[in-house]
Amino acid sequence: MDVDDRTFWIGSAHNQMCRIKIGSFRETFNLNLEHWSLANYMQHWRRQLELLLSGAPVVVLTTWAAAPDIECVRRGWVLFASGGDEVTVVERLFICEPGADFSVRADGSVQLEQKPALITEEGLEISSWKTGISEISAFLASCG
C-alpha cells in the first residue's frame, strides 16, 4: 500500500489518502485516522489476509474504523474465496443497527460470518472485483 502525502479533514475526522495494488487491481481510498493509525490498519490487514490464506471463509479489510463502543458506520473490503485460486472482493458499508449481519470486535474492526450476497434484493449485481490467492501472497510478501 502506498500512502499519499495528502492528509485532509472531513468534519472532525482526520483522513489519509492511500493507494493499494493487489495483482492488477488498483484503488485509491481514504482511511479515517480518528480511531486507528495507519500502522493499526496495516497490522489489521495483514492479520486478515493471513486468516484468508489459512482458510477463513470470509475476512474484512477495514478502511474506516471506529472505537468499539461507538455506534457508527464502518467501511471495508470483504474478501472471500470463490473457487480455485480466485478471491472475490466487495467494498461494503457496515451500518450499526439491530439485526445487522456483522459484529464489531474489541478493536473496533468488523467481523462478518458469511459471504455477502453479490445480488441486491432488487436483482442488481453488486460491484466486485477478483484477485488470486497467489496475488494476495505476493502482496503480503511485499509489505514486509
For residue 68, what pLDDT is reported? 74
pLDDT tens readout for residues 65-92: 877 777 777 788 888 888 788 888 877 7
Grid cell at residue 89 = 472482493
What's the whole-number mean pLDDT along residues 20-44? 81
Using an 8 Å Cβ cutoff, are 2 and 19 in contact?
yes
Residue 88 forms part of a structural domain: yes
| 102 located within any domain | yes
Residue 73 lies in a domain: yes
pLDDT the model gives residue 100: 74
**Rounded average pLDDT over 18-47:** 82
Check if the beta carbon of residue 65 is closer than 8 Å to that of residue 33. Answer: no
Question: Using one digit for the tens of pLDDT, what is the confidence trace for 118-136?
Answer: 888 888 888 888 888 888 8
Residue 20 in any domain: the answer is no
Domain count, the chain: 1
Q: Is residue 132 part of a domain?
A: yes
Residue pLDDT, tens place only, 35-70: 888 888 888 889 999 999 998 888 988 888 877 777
Residue 50, pLDDT score: 92
β-strand partners of 22: 25
On whether residue 21 sits in a domain, the answer given is no
Domain of 125, in residue numbers:
37-142
Helix (H) or strand (E) holding 47, with range, is: helix 38-53
In a domain, 120, yes or no: yes
Q: What is the CATH number of the domain that holds 138?
A: 3.30.2450.20
The whole-model pTM stands at 0.78
| Confidence at 144, pLDDT banded by 50, 70, 90 | low
pLDDT of residue 8: 45
Is 93 buried (19+), middle (13-18) or exposed (0-12) by CB count in 10 A? exposed
Per-chain mean pLDDT for the chain: 78
2 in a structural domain: no
